[in-house]
A and B are shown apart, each in its own frame.
Chain A
Amino acid sequence: NAGVTQTPKFRVLKTGQSMTLLCAQDMNHEYMYWYRQDPGMGLRLIHYSVGEGTTAKGEVPDGYNVSRLKKQNFLLGLESAAPSQTSVYFCASIQGDGLAGPNEQFFGPGTRLTVL
Protein backbone atom coordinates (compact mmCIF):
# COMPACT_ATOMS: atom_id res chain seq x y z
CA ASN A 1 0.00 0.00 0.00
CA ALA A 2 1.94 3.01 -1.29
CA GLY A 3 -0.54 5.61 -0.01
CA VAL A 4 -0.24 8.91 -1.90
CA THR A 5 2.61 9.27 -4.37
CA GLN A 6 3.71 12.28 -6.37
CA THR A 7 5.72 12.49 -9.57
CA PRO A 8 8.20 14.11 -10.01
CA LYS A 9 9.88 14.91 -6.70
CA PHE A 10 11.88 17.83 -8.08
CA ARG A 11 11.64 19.93 -11.23
CA VAL A 12 13.21 23.06 -12.60
CA LEU A 13 11.35 24.93 -15.31
CA LYS A 14 12.02 28.04 -17.33
CA THR A 15 9.43 30.77 -17.44
CA GLY A 16 6.76 29.94 -19.98
CA GLN A 17 7.33 26.19 -20.00
CA SER A 18 4.54 23.81 -19.16
CA MET A 19 4.44 20.70 -17.03
CA THR A 20 2.12 18.27 -15.30
CA LEU A 21 2.41 17.00 -11.76
CA LEU A 22 0.93 13.58 -11.13
CA CYS A 23 -0.66 12.47 -7.89
CA ALA A 24 -1.69 8.87 -7.41
CA GLN A 25 -3.39 7.17 -4.48
CA ASP A 26 -4.13 3.51 -3.93
CA MET A 27 -6.56 3.88 -1.03
CA ASN A 28 -9.69 4.21 -3.17
CA HIS A 29 -10.26 7.70 -1.79
CA GLU A 30 -12.96 9.85 -3.32
CA TYR A 31 -11.57 13.30 -2.59
CA MET A 32 -8.21 14.62 -3.71
CA TYR A 33 -6.50 17.98 -3.25
CA TRP A 34 -3.59 20.01 -4.52
CA TYR A 35 -1.87 22.47 -2.17
CA ARG A 36 1.11 24.72 -2.51
CA GLN A 37 3.39 25.56 0.37
CA ASP A 38 5.33 28.79 0.47
CA PRO A 39 7.54 30.07 3.28
CA GLY A 40 5.53 31.84 5.96
CA MET A 41 2.20 31.05 4.34
CA GLY A 42 1.35 27.51 5.33
CA LEU A 43 -0.45 25.34 2.81
CA ARG A 44 -2.96 26.88 0.43
CA LEU A 45 -5.50 24.94 -1.58
CA ILE A 46 -5.15 25.22 -5.35
CA HIS A 47 -7.80 22.84 -6.70
CA TYR A 48 -9.63 19.82 -5.43
CA SER A 49 -11.80 16.98 -6.66
CA VAL A 50 -14.66 15.21 -4.96
CA GLY A 51 -14.79 12.36 -7.43
CA GLU A 52 -13.75 11.03 -10.79
CA GLY A 53 -14.48 13.56 -13.50
CA THR A 54 -15.11 16.47 -11.12
CA THR A 55 -12.82 19.34 -10.12
CA ALA A 56 -13.26 22.63 -8.30
CA LYS A 57 -11.21 25.72 -7.53
CA GLY A 58 -9.59 26.31 -4.20
CA GLU A 59 -8.05 29.40 -2.70
CA VAL A 60 -5.29 30.03 -5.27
CA PRO A 61 -6.32 28.44 -8.60
CA ASP A 62 -4.96 31.00 -11.05
CA GLY A 63 -2.32 29.66 -13.41
CA TYR A 64 -3.18 26.02 -12.74
CA ASN A 65 -5.48 23.45 -14.26
CA VAL A 66 -6.40 20.01 -13.02
CA SER A 67 -7.97 16.81 -14.25
CA ARG A 68 -9.34 13.71 -12.55
CA LEU A 69 -9.96 11.23 -15.33
CA LYS A 70 -9.37 8.24 -13.08
CA LYS A 71 -10.34 7.98 -9.44
CA GLN A 72 -6.83 7.18 -8.33
CA ASN A 73 -5.08 10.00 -10.19
CA PHE A 74 -5.21 13.77 -9.86
CA LEU A 75 -3.14 15.83 -12.28
CA LEU A 76 -2.01 19.41 -11.76
CA GLY A 77 -0.97 21.33 -14.85
CA LEU A 78 0.97 24.53 -15.31
CA GLU A 79 0.38 25.79 -18.84
CA SER A 80 2.88 28.66 -18.75
CA ALA A 81 5.05 28.57 -15.66
CA ALA A 82 5.93 31.78 -13.84
CA PRO A 83 8.53 32.42 -11.13
CA SER A 84 5.65 33.07 -8.70
CA GLN A 85 4.78 29.39 -9.05
CA THR A 86 8.05 28.35 -7.45
CA SER A 87 6.83 26.37 -4.49
CA VAL A 88 6.45 22.96 -2.91
CA TYR A 89 3.33 21.21 -4.12
CA PHE A 90 1.49 18.68 -2.02
CA CYS A 91 -1.23 16.32 -3.04
CA ALA A 92 -3.62 14.86 -0.46
CA SER A 93 -6.56 12.49 -0.43
CA ILE A 94 -9.40 11.55 1.88
CA GLN A 95 -12.15 8.98 1.87
CA GLY A 96 -14.76 11.75 1.93
CA ASP A 97 -17.64 9.69 3.28
CA GLY A 98 -19.02 12.74 5.02
CA LEU A 99 -19.00 11.16 8.42
CA ALA A 100 -17.90 13.05 11.48
CA GLY A 101 -14.54 12.20 12.90
CA PRO A 102 -10.94 12.75 11.92
CA ASN A 103 -11.05 11.70 8.28
CA GLU A 104 -7.58 13.14 8.14
CA GLN A 105 -6.07 14.00 4.81
CA PHE A 106 -3.24 11.75 3.68
CA PHE A 107 -0.46 13.69 2.05
CA GLY A 108 2.02 12.81 -0.63
CA PRO A 109 5.74 13.53 -0.17
CA GLY A 110 5.62 16.79 -2.13
CA THR A 111 7.10 18.11 -5.37
CA ARG A 112 9.63 20.92 -5.21
CA LEU A 113 9.22 23.11 -8.29
CA THR A 114 11.53 25.95 -9.24
CA VAL A 115 10.64 28.30 -12.08
CA LEU A 116 13.54 30.37 -13.36
Chain B
Amino acid sequence: AQKITQTQPGMFVQEKEAVTLDCTYDTSDPSYGLFWYKQPSSGEMIFLIYQGSYDQQNATEGRYSLNFQKARKSANLVISASQLGDSAMYFCAMREAPNFGNEKLTFGTGTRLTIIP
Protein backbone atom coordinates (compact mmCIF):
# COMPACT_ATOMS: atom_id res chain seq x y z
CA ALA B 1 0.00 0.00 0.00
CA GLN B 2 1.17 3.50 -0.79
CA LYS B 3 2.20 5.38 2.29
CA ILE B 4 1.84 8.78 0.62
CA THR B 5 -0.74 9.36 -2.09
CA GLN B 6 -0.94 12.42 -4.26
CA THR B 7 -3.87 11.96 -6.61
CA GLN B 8 -3.37 15.05 -8.77
CA PRO B 9 -0.62 14.46 -11.33
CA GLY B 10 -1.10 17.96 -12.71
CA MET B 11 -3.02 21.13 -11.96
CA PHE B 12 -3.55 24.40 -13.79
CA VAL B 13 -4.49 27.43 -11.74
CA GLN B 14 -5.08 31.05 -12.64
CA GLU B 15 -2.61 33.50 -11.17
CA LYS B 16 -3.71 35.06 -7.86
CA GLU B 17 -6.12 32.25 -7.13
CA ALA B 18 -5.69 29.93 -4.17
CA VAL B 19 -4.78 26.32 -4.85
CA THR B 20 -5.02 23.15 -2.79
CA LEU B 21 -2.71 20.23 -3.43
CA ASP B 22 -3.95 16.95 -2.02
CA CYS B 23 -1.97 14.50 0.06
CA THR B 24 -3.18 11.48 1.98
CA TYR B 25 -0.98 9.25 4.06
CA ASP B 26 -1.07 5.86 5.69
CA THR B 27 0.66 5.02 8.93
CA SER B 28 -0.08 3.19 12.15
CA ASP B 29 2.50 5.13 14.13
CA PRO B 30 1.07 7.74 16.50
CA SER B 31 4.09 9.98 16.03
CA TYR B 32 4.95 11.16 12.55
CA GLY B 33 5.74 14.27 10.58
CA LEU B 34 4.47 15.51 7.25
CA PHE B 35 6.45 17.67 4.85
CA TRP B 36 5.90 19.51 1.63
CA TYR B 37 8.74 20.17 -0.79
CA LYS B 38 8.77 22.25 -3.96
CA GLN B 39 10.83 21.29 -6.97
CA PRO B 40 11.03 24.02 -9.63
CA SER B 41 12.18 23.30 -13.16
CA SER B 42 15.77 23.94 -12.07
CA GLY B 43 15.56 20.71 -10.10
CA GLU B 44 16.42 21.58 -6.53
CA MET B 45 14.25 20.43 -3.63
CA ILE B 46 12.98 23.28 -1.48
CA PHE B 47 11.43 22.64 1.92
CA LEU B 48 8.13 24.49 2.33
CA ILE B 49 6.28 23.43 5.44
CA TYR B 50 6.09 20.84 8.19
CA GLN B 51 3.28 19.42 10.34
CA GLY B 52 3.87 17.18 13.31
CA SER B 53 1.24 14.60 14.22
CA TYR B 54 0.84 16.08 17.68
CA ASP B 55 0.66 19.68 16.55
CA GLN B 56 -2.66 21.16 17.56
CA GLN B 57 -2.75 23.85 14.94
CA ASN B 58 -2.31 23.73 11.20
CA ALA B 59 1.13 24.83 10.10
CA THR B 60 1.54 28.08 8.18
CA GLU B 61 4.54 29.60 6.44
CA GLY B 62 3.78 32.81 4.60
CA ARG B 63 1.49 31.99 1.69
CA TYR B 64 1.68 28.27 2.46
CA SER B 65 -0.57 26.51 4.92
CA LEU B 66 -1.13 22.88 5.64
CA ASN B 67 -4.70 21.68 6.06
CA PHE B 68 -4.10 18.81 8.47
CA GLN B 69 -7.04 16.47 9.01
CA LYS B 70 -5.67 13.74 11.22
CA ALA B 71 -8.77 11.53 11.31
CA ARG B 72 -8.91 11.52 7.52
CA LYS B 73 -5.12 11.15 7.25
CA SER B 74 -4.83 14.03 4.90
CA ALA B 75 -2.29 16.85 4.79
CA ASN B 76 -3.23 19.14 1.94
CA LEU B 77 -1.03 22.07 0.98
CA VAL B 78 -2.81 25.36 0.40
CA ILE B 79 -1.10 28.13 -1.50
CA SER B 80 -2.86 31.46 -1.25
CA ALA B 81 -2.71 34.10 -3.97
CA SER B 82 -0.71 31.97 -6.38
CA GLN B 83 2.15 33.50 -8.34
CA LEU B 84 3.85 32.53 -11.58
CA GLY B 85 6.87 31.47 -9.56
CA ASP B 86 4.76 28.83 -7.84
CA SER B 87 4.80 26.75 -11.02
CA ALA B 88 6.72 23.65 -9.98
CA MET B 89 6.46 20.05 -8.87
CA TYR B 90 5.23 19.63 -5.31
CA PHE B 91 5.97 16.59 -3.18
CA CYS B 92 4.34 15.48 0.01
CA ALA B 93 6.51 13.35 2.31
CA MET B 94 6.17 11.60 5.63
CA ARG B 95 8.58 10.74 8.41
CA GLU B 96 7.24 7.95 10.58
CA ALA B 97 7.89 7.41 14.25
CA PRO B 98 11.04 9.41 14.90
CA ASN B 99 13.15 6.33 15.26
CA PHE B 100 16.13 8.35 16.32
CA GLY B 101 17.91 6.06 13.97
CA ASN B 102 17.22 7.12 10.46
CA GLU B 103 14.68 9.94 10.03
CA LYS B 104 13.76 8.47 6.67
CA LEU B 105 11.27 10.23 4.44
CA THR B 106 8.72 8.55 2.19
CA PHE B 107 7.67 10.68 -0.75
CA GLY B 108 4.53 10.81 -2.83
CA THR B 109 4.66 10.86 -6.61
CA GLY B 110 4.16 14.61 -6.79
CA THR B 111 1.80 17.14 -8.34
CA ARG B 112 2.90 19.39 -11.16
CA LEU B 113 1.38 22.81 -10.63
CA THR B 114 1.20 25.30 -13.47
CA ILE B 115 0.14 28.88 -12.80
CA ILE B 116 -1.54 30.56 -15.75
CA PRO B 117 -1.07 34.32 -16.17
- Residues on B facing A (Cβ under 8 Å): 4, 9, 31, 33, 35, 37, 43-45, 47, 50, 52, 54, 91, 93, 98, 100-110
Contact = CB atoms under 8 A, between A and B. Distances in A.
Contact of A104 (B50, B102, B107): B50
A58 B104 CA distance: 9
Interface stretch (A13-21, A64-72, A90-98): A90-98
Interface of A: 31, 33, 35, 40-45, 48, 50, 56, 58, 88, 90, 92, 94, 96, 98, 100-107, 109-110
Contacts, number: 63
A31 B98 contact: no
A69 B104 CA distance: 21
B91 A42 contact: yes
Given A90-B45, A109-B43, A50 B101 contact: yes
